[in-house]
């Protein structure tokens, strides 16, 4: 740090108050590592501003002293983006005190919130005025909207409502030199040149700190139908999705796939999870369709489509939830897959997106490559097939040493990502690039694309203080 540490500390305290600057190792601990424990960082301090003006003053101080910053939301992105490096040079700016809903405008179908609002609280605030904020993901109880926007988060409703990028109308951002850009417009149409907000969406804090966002909200659905189907083949899962979309007039709001292995380990390891079918099947789809009014006929449409598919042999068995409890039980199976993998040993992850029509082909090719690379490894491809975002996780072979297996993470990633690239897919569909995939990104983007990324970074952050050495590969 260019400024002596003690002086920096004093000046930060003068901006946000003594209690909003953390230096005690015990207080810092949860902010230096992530759930997966891949990296462990160090920092001289964590600062907790309470207003945009305070963020601006903090960033200006860092700009003038050349002090690097890591913005941090809920710290759930798990690719090293939200924590500092081991050298301990960056200060962490946590947005968690900036958690006010500034405005809800039900008539305009918008709400304006501060960046540190926890996603679940935003959903609740919308619900209270009979509206829906559709972004929904496993980490919604702890991730923040600033983090969601900075990673362009998706989740189970992406199929119908798009990802974070599609849900934002305006942003307020503190730029790397401390200036505040107020782009909090709540307009559906604005054709006045470059759409600057989209630069900051998915930038993982490398271009500035998002302090507030104007978001779209939607009419709250009045009727929801949840169903789970056992499907006869992997391509059949995609065929069923397509048919459901057609039959319901695109009212499918979520469509998730699960393999037998996922169901098996969920039932085995997670209390309360039950297989809804009385015999095992290879492939499953869990879906939800939503309508704007009660007794809309949606349930009949879902029933008919499933019945036809059963007649043709596309679907082997199906259940439609009859009660709130059954809805919860079905979704519980899908959620349980995440934790059920842990007791099965090491798991090598691939967070990928493929064109929906190629998902089955991708999984078949990837499974073959896995078996060739590490015989006996157990693929657990599950997730948001509705938007082509598959969690292609691979659990270690039974009896293999965990560390020995995990040491092959890079090798397996390379092999699987090559298939992804051959299908014009993405090697990061949810968690971002951070530091985990930064070097790898250089292999999958063209020189032109990399050059554009570096140009944008240099233009907005010429001193390179904003989340340095993340996302944008070295030139
Ligand atoms: P953090 O992890 O704190 O930060 C993410 C990045 O954004 C970092 O680079 C950080 O520096 C930057 N950042 C944070 N706040 C700001 C800000 N205000 N301004 C500028 N930069 C900022 N993701 C999905 O997309 N879909 C899913 O379905 C999904 N499911 C998940 C399930 C579980 C159980 C877990 C643990 C994670 C899941 N994720 C999913 C990943 C993660 O929740 C998302 O990436 C989420 O958007 C991260 O938000 P966060 O507040 O935790 O951000
Ligand atoms: Zn996911």
Q: Which 3-state string (H, E, C) describes 212-279?
A: EEEEECEECCCEEEEEEEEECCHHHHHHHHHHHHHHCCCCEEEEEEEEHHHHHHHHHHCCCCCCCCCC
Q: Could you report the per-residue pLDDT of 217-274, keeping only the tens digit for each?
A: 999 999 999 999 999 999 999 999 999 999 999 999 999 999 999 999 999 999 999 9
Q: Domain boundary at 311, 340, 369, which?
A: 340
The 3-state DSSP class for residue 169 equals strand
Same domain membership, residue 214 and residue 181: yes
Query: What integer best gives the mean pLDDT of the chain?
Result: 96
Residue 360 above 90 pLDDT? yes
Same domain membership, residue 229 and residue 336: yes
Asked whether residue 352 is assigned to any structural domain, the reply reads yes
Q: What is the mean pLDDT of residues 173-200?
A: 97
Q: Which ligand is closest in space to the CA of residue 78?
A: 1
Same domain membership, residue 190 and residue 120: yes
Distance 428 CA to ligand 1 centre (A): 13
The 3-state DSSP class for residue 322 equals coil
Residue closest via CA to ligand 1's atom 5 equals 147
Question: Rounded CA gap, 82 and 148, in Å?
Answer: 12
Asked whether residue 23 is assigned to any structural domain, the reply reads yes
Residue 120 above 90 pLDDT? yes
Question: In 67-118, which ranges are continuous DSSP H helix?
Answer: none
Q: Which ligand is closest in space to the CA of residue 384?
A: 2
Q: Domain boundary at 422, 438, 466, which?
A: 422
Asked whether residue 449 is assigned to any structural domain, the reply reads no
Distance 141 CA to ligand 1 centre (A): 12
Same domain membership, residue 162 and residue 244: no
Same domain membership, residue 403 and residue 359: yes
Asked whether residue 465 is assigned to any structural domain, the reply reads no
Distance 303 CA to ligand 1 centre (A): 36
Asked whether residue 473 is assigned to any structural domain, the reply reads no
Cβ atoms of 84 and 41 closer than 8 Å: yes
* The overall pTM is greater than 0.85: yes
Q: Which ligand is closest in space to the CA of residue 349?
A: 2
Q: Could you report the per-residue pLDDT of 289-330, keeping only the tens digit for each?
A: 999 999 999 999 999 999 999 999 999 999 999 999 999 999
Same domain membership, residue 163 and residue 75: no
* Exposure string over 259-281, b if 16+ CB within 10 A, otherwise e: bebbbbbbeebbeebebbbeeeb
Residue 317 belongs to domain with CATH number: 3.30.70.2190
Asked whether residue 151 is assigned to any structural domain, the reply reads yes
Residue 379 belongs to domain with CATH number: 3.30.70.2740
Residue 5 above 90 pLDDT? no
Same domain membership, residue 155 and residue 117: yes
Q: Domain boundary at 186, 219, 252, which?
A: 219
The structure tokens listed for 110 are: 């918008």
Distance 115 CA to ligand 1 centre (A): 12
Asked whether residue 273 is assigned to any structural domain, the reply reads yes
Distance 147 CA to ligand 1 centre (A): 5
Relative to the CA of 137, which ligand 1 atom is closest?
Answer: 28
Q: Given ligand 1 and candidates 43, 150, 180, which is best to mutate, with the most ligand atoms within 8 Å of its CB?
A: 150
Q: Given ligand 1 and candidates 52, 58, 147, 286, which is best to mutate, with the most ligand atoms within 8 Å of its CB?
A: 147
Residue closest via CA to ligand 1's atom 31 equals 138
Q: Which residues, at least 6 apart from 3, have a Cβ–Cβ distance to it below 8 Å?
A: 11, 65, 67
Distance 138 CA to ligand 1 centre (A): 11
Q: Could you report the per-residue pLDDT of 259-273, keeping only the tens digit for each?
A: 999 999 999 999 999
Residue 37 above 90 pLDDT? no
pLDDT given for residue 2 in this prediction = 63
Question: Rounded CA gap, 295 and 248, in Å?
Answer: 14
Residue closest via CA to ligand 1's atom 10 equals 82
Q: Given ligand 1 and candidates 120, 137, 383, 388, which is best to mutate, with the most ligand atoms within 8 Å of its CB?
A: 137
Same domain membership, residue 123 and residue 77: no
Same domain membership, residue 258 and residue 281: yes
pLDDT given for residue 305 in this prediction = 98
The structure tokens listed for 365 are: 């090719």
Residue 55 above 80 pLDDT? yes
Q: What share of the chain has pLDDT > 90, as a percent?
A: 97
DSSP 8-state assignment for residue 327: H
Residue 1 above 70 pLDDT? no
Same domain membership, residue 198 and residue 117: yes
Residue 88 belongs to domain with CATH number: 3.30.43.10
DSSP 8-state assignment for residue 396: P
Question: Rounded CA gap, 236 and 244, in Å?
Answer: 12
Same domain membership, residue 138 and residue 34: no
Q: Given ligand 1 and candidates 115, 151, 435, which is best to mutate, with the most ligand atoms within 8 Å of its CB?
A: 151
Cβ atoms of 225 and 157 closer than 8 Å: no
Give the strand pairing for 69-72 and 91-94.
Answer: parallel
Q: Could you report the per-residue pLDDT of 18-31, keeping only the tens digit for each?
A: 999 999 999 999 99
Q: Which domain holds residue 239?
A: 223-340
Q: How many domains does the chain have?
A: 4
Q: What is the mean pLDDT of residues 353-380?
A: 98
Q: Could you report the per-residue pLDDT of 382-440, keeping only the tens digit for each?
A: 999 999 999 999 999 999 999 999 999 999 999 999 999 999 999 999 999 999 999 99
Question: In 275-358, which ranges are continuous DSSP H helix?
Answer: 298-312, 324-340
Q: Given ligand 1 and candidates 34, 74, 139, 338, which is best to mutate, with the most ligand atoms within 8 Å of its CB?
A: 139
Relative to the CA of 153, which ligand 1 atom is closest?
Answer: 25
For ligand 1, which residues put their CB under 6 angstroms from it?
A: 35, 70-77, 81-82, 95, 115, 137-139, 143-144, 146-148, 150-151, 153-155, 204-205, 209-210, 338, 430-431, 467
Distance 154 CA to ligand 2 centre (A): 8
The band of 212, judged by pLDDT with boundaries at 50, 70 and 90, is very high
Relative to the CA of 173, which ligand 1 atom is closest?
Answer: 19
Q: Which ligand is closest in space to the CA of residue 203?
A: 1
Question: Rounded CA gap, 226 and 382, in Å?
Answer: 18
Beta-carbon-side half-sphere exposure of residue 402 (alpha carbons within 13 Å): 7
Asked whether residue 187 is assigned to any structural domain, the reply reads yes
Same domain membership, residue 372 and residue 283: no
């Amino acid at each position: 740090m260019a400024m002596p540490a003690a002086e920096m500390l004093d000046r930060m305290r003068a901006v946000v108050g003594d209690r909003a600057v953390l230096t005690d190792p015990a207080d810092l601990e949860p902010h230096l590592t992530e759930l997966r424990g891949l990296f462990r960082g160090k920092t001289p301090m964590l600062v907790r501003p309470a207003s945009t003006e305070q963020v601006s003053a903090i960033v200006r101080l860092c700009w003038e002293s050349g002090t690097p910053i890591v913005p941090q939301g809920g710290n759930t992105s798990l690719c090293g983006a939200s924590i500092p490096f081991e050298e301990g040079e960056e200060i962490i700016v946590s947005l968690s005190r900036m958690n006010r809903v500034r405005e809800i405008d039900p008539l305009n179908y918008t709400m304006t919130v501060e960046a540190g609002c926890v996603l679940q609280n935003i959903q609740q605030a919308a619900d209270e005025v009979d509206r829906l904020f559709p972004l929904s993901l496993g980490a919604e109880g702890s991730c923040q909207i600033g983090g969601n926007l900075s990673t362009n988060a998706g989740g189970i409703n992406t199929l119908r409502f798009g990802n974070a990028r599609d849900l934002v109308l305006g942003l307020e951002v503190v730029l790397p030199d401390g200036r505040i850009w107020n782009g909090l417009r709540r307009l559906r149409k604005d054709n006045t040149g470059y759409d600057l907000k989209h630069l900051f969406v998915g930038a993982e804090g490398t271009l500035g700190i998002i302090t507030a966002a104007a978001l779209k909200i939607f009419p709250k659905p009045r009727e929801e139908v949840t169903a789970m189907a056992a499907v006869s083949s992997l391509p059949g899962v995609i065929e069923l999705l397509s048919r459901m979309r057609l039959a319901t007039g695109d009212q499918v709001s979520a469509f998730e796939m699960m393999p037998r292995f996922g169901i098996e380990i969920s039932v085995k390891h997670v209390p309360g999870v039950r297989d809804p079918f009385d015999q095992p099947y290879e492939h499953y789809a869990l879906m939800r369709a939503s309508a704007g009014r009660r007794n809309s006929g949606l349930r009949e449409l879902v029933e008919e489509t499933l019945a036809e598919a059963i007649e043709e042999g596309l679907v082997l068995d199906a259940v439609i939830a009859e009660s709130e409890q059954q809805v919860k039980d079905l979704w519980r199976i899908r959620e349980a897959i995440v934790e059920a993998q842990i007791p099965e040993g090491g798991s090598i992850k691939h967070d990928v997106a493929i064109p929906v029509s190629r998902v089955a082909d991708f999984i078949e090719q990837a499974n073959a490559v896995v078996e060739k690379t590490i015989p006996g490894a157990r693929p657990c491809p599950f997730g948001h097939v509705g938007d082509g975002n598959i969690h292609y996780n691979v659990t270690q072979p039974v009896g293999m040493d965990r560390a020995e297996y995990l040491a092959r993470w890079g090798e397996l990633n390379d092999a699987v990502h090559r298939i992804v690239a051959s299908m014009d897919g993405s090697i990061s569909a949810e968690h971002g690039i951070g530091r985990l995939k930064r070097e790898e990104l250089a292999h999958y983007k063209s020189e032109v694309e990399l050059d554009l990324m570096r140009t944008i970074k240099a233009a907005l952050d010429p001193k390179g203080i904003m989340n340095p050495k993340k996302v944008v590969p070295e030139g």
